[in-house]
Amino acid sequence: MPAADTLERWHAFTATGDVAVLDELLADDVEFRPPTYWTPRRGKREVALILGAVAGVFEGFRYEREWVDGDDWALEFTARVGGLELKGVDLIRLDGEGRIVDFEVVARPPSAVAALRDAMAERLAALLPPSGS
């Protein structure tokens, strides 16, 4: 799958929140590093759960500037969570087959990141083991 197709499908996921799209987008051994804690999450099933939950937590999610350099992307976004504005960047790396293998999210300010952590913990409590710190 060419990188441009992956980007188009990723945009389709962020527009719809349809997690079925993620099955072809994520590598089996994808690693996800969230803005809310240090410990990475690994594996397609777990990361798809997390991304699906994020899509349900963010309000008014919108990409702004996007830098796409082959398999390495930096996607700037804004969203609201718990009534607070959040700015973030999705740092994404594709594997040789156009699948997302590395996904790290950096964000600000800390008050909105804390609101995101709380909202995600509530959604994921029943679905995943504790995240560590």
**24 or 64, CB closer to a second copy?**
64
Using CA atoms, how far apart are residues 113 and 66, in angstroms rounded to an integer? 21
Helices 110-124 + 44-57 axis angle, to 10: 120
CA dihedral (47, 23, 28, 8) in degrees, to 10, reads -90
Q: Which of 55, 114, 121, 128 binds a second copy (CB under 8 A)?
A: 114
Q: How far is the CB of 30 from a second copy (least distance, A)?
A: 17
Question: Which residues, 83 to 102, sit near a second copy by CB under 8 A?
Answer: 85, 87-89, 91
Q: Does 9 bind a second copy (CB under 8 A)?
A: no
Residue 57: CA count within 13 A, CB half-sphere: 24
Report the interface residues with a second copy, using CB under 8 A: 33-38, 65, 67, 69, 72, 74, 76, 85, 87-89, 91, 104-114, 117, 133
